[in-house]
Amino acid sequence: MKKWPNQLFINNNWVDGVAGRKWDVINPATGAVLESVALADAHDVDIAVKAARKAFDDGPWPRMDPLARGRLLFKLAEKIRENLADLAMTDTLNVGKPIRDTIGFDVPCAADLFESYAGLPDKISGKCYGTLPDNVTMQFREPMGVIAAIVPWNFPLTNAAIKLAPILACGNTVVLKPSEVSPLSAFMLAKLSLEVGFPQGVINVIHGTGAEAGAALVEHRGVDKITFTGRHQTGAQMLQAAKNGMKGVLLELGGKTPSIVLPDAPLENVVNGVITGIFFNLGQVCVAGSRLLVHASQHDEILSRIVSKVGSLRQGDPTDPKNHLGCLATDQHKKVVINYIEQAKKEGAKPVLADSKNSKNDGCFHAPVIFDCVTPSMTIAREEVFGPVLSVMTYKDEDDAVRIANDSDFGLMANIWTCDGGRALRIARRVKAGRIAINGGGALRPNVPVYGYKMSGIGAELGYEEAVHEYTNSKAVLYSLGTEKSPWPE
């Protein structure tokens, strides 16, 4: 690997933090230090926000020909593809994701996002309302301003692209704060943006803790909107911080995705889909299918098939393309996952596949876990574990399945498996979640919005119309055509 950038990226310059502090970025698979990176505090945040503010208020970006803006986004997409191998290995080393996944999904998805939104800038338009004989009323869409984008560690590059692509397409400037756990690919992305010619101050990347740099960023009065992906507890803090300056807020938070398997579903597809849904990236996915709802008549067969197939998954060195499973992102997070596993046992869940002392669980590694006999009231069924833990629940009929699926504080996504299209759509209308995947159709697409019901978020991530709504301001202009006006009160 080439040496990673290890400074803050502010106003197209690489700079150390004002306080001169550093933060060791760790490879969770080996415990080795990958890089010692500059650590931002409130002073650095202020500098970055002011750079973004000046770029928005006085710079060319918001006033640039939309097609020219789109071309820069397209060039960035191409740069990402040219650097696929380095970017993929960076996220693999940084968070323990299998290289087969970072090469096959994470980096290509990031490139696709920038390419897709490269076509949006000149499509942003307002409208004309019904007119009176002497009045024309128009609506304009204008760039919003400085956006604070805060992303988690589970998909470092992809999450950065999900934020930056629509933000930039709409003509805004941005201060991106990646997780302090996984900042390396975000800095690489900043380096690529410099190479393709983004103007000064348009993209700024700071690295710091949530408690210090994150809090300073969301509270800064120079920020016009906060977009955050992460835990719902932190999202609640964002809402409190947003009142300082009356900022807009877009929150994409946690999930507790149910997978409803109806008796007519093809079991081989179900088994593959369920295993992918919960064990891809070791369950460190906001839409991880952590709750499996099966009909009583099929429970034993489905569970047996899943356990058998999970046993064939290869886990080990994330840089080995033969391995399906890598490790958890941090030792601290592994402790959280283990606590949930032990709590499930205490509450009466039956461990079908669980061995926290297995040799594969050394360091940040943890093998897949499956619990049976899970009830909706158990902690394992209610809280987001964010790990390789599947909870199997049994339902009696369709109404019972919908009731269990909706018995959650979250509503980010749901999966439905059936050969009956009408039934699938009927259940999809009843399940309270922002995204419903039928028979495995849940792939991330740049043009498809991500909504969150209940505690899963506010606003919409991605989607073209939704992006314009989230990242532009609307202005009404009332144009009087009358030539004579009588002053009030005459």
pTM of the model: 0.95
Same domain, 291 and 349: yes
Confidence label for 129 from pLDDT (cuts 50, 70 and 90): confident
In a domain, 465, yes or no: yes
Range of the domain at 295: 258-438
| Active-site entry in 252, 384, 466, 470 | 252
Which pLDDT value is given to residue 360? 63
More confident site: 57 or 240 = 57
Same domain, 323 and 464: no
Same domain, 191 and 265: no
In a domain, 391, yes or no: yes
Both tokens of 82, joined, read 């040219």
User: Which pLDDT tens digit goes with each residue over 211-253?
Assistant: 999 999 999 999 999 999 999 899 888 888 888 888 999 999 9
**CATH code, 197:** 3.40.605.10
Question: Length of the chain, please?
Answer: 490
For the beta carbon of residue 332, count every other beta carbon within 10 angstroms.
10
In a domain, 124, yes or no: yes
The pLDDT of residue 113 is above 70:
yes
Q: Would residue 286 show up in a list of annotated catalytic residues for this protein?
A: yes
In a domain, 445, yes or no: no
**CATH code, 311:** 3.40.309.10
The pLDDT of residue 141 is above 90:
yes
Mean pLDDT of the chain: 94
| Active-site entry in 115, 180, 219, 286 | 286
Please name which of 408, 416, 403 lies closest in space to residue 442, comparing C-alpha atoms: 416
For strands 146-150 and 225-229, give the pairing. Answer: parallel
Confidence label for 2 from pLDDT (cuts 50, 70 and 90): low
Q: Would residue 252 show up in a list of annotated catalytic residues for this protein?
A: yes
Please count the structural domains in the chain. Answer: 2
Cα gap 166→69, rounded to integer Å:
12
Confidence label for 356 from pLDDT (cuts 50, 70 and 90): very low
In a domain, 1, yes or no: no
User: Which pLDDT tens digit goes with each residue over 153-175?
Assistant: 999 999 999 999 999 999 999 99
Cα gap 166→472, rounded to integer Å:
10
Same domain, 118 and 16: yes
The answer to whether residues 437 and 448 touch, using CB atoms and an 8 Å cutoff, is no
Same domain, 273 and 228: no
Same domain, 431 and 463: no
Q: What is the mean pLDDT of residues 111-125?
A: 97
In a domain, 481, yes or no: no
Which pLDDT value is given to residue 135? 85
User: Which pLDDT tens digit goes with each residue over 144-154?
Assistant: 999 999 999 99
Same domain, 170 and 24: yes
Same domain, 129 and 265: no
Which of 123-132, 216-225, 272-281, 285-294 shows the lowest mean pLDDT across its residues? 123-132
Residue 475 burial (C-beta neighbours within 10 Å; 0-12, 13-18, 19+): exposed
User: Which pLDDT tens digit goes with each residue over 405-458?
Assistant: 999 999 999 999 999 999 999 999 999 999 999 999 878 899 999 999 999 999
Cα gap 414→260, rounded to integer Å:
8
Please name which of 448, 467, 458, 459 lies closest in space to residue 165, comparing C-alpha atoms: 467
Which pLDDT value is given to residue 358? 44
| DSSP string of 160-214, one letter each residue | HHHHHHHHHHTT-EEEEE--TTS-HHHHHHHHHHHHHTPPTTSEEE----IIIII
In a domain, 168, yes or no: yes
Same domain, 222 and 322: no
Confidence label for 122 from pLDDT (cuts 50, 70 and 90): very high
Distances (CA, A) of 284 to 63, 67, 97, 419, 479: 39, 37, 10, 29, 53
Same domain, 400 and 363: yes
Q: What is the mean pLDDT of residues 43-53?
A: 98
Q: CA angle, 270 as apex, 268 and 274 as ends, to 5°?
A: 125
Which pLDDT value is given to residue 82? 97
Same domain, 22 and 118: yes
Same domain, 220 and 325: no
Please name which of 206, 161, 156, 204 lies closest in space to residue 181, comparing C-alpha atoms: 156
The pLDDT of residue 357 is above 50:
no
In a domain, 447, yes or no: no
For strands 203-205 and 225-229, give the pairing. Answer: unpaired
Q: Which residues contact 366 (CB under 8 A, 6 or more apart)?
A: 282, 327, 328, 334, 337, 338, 356, 360, 387, 388
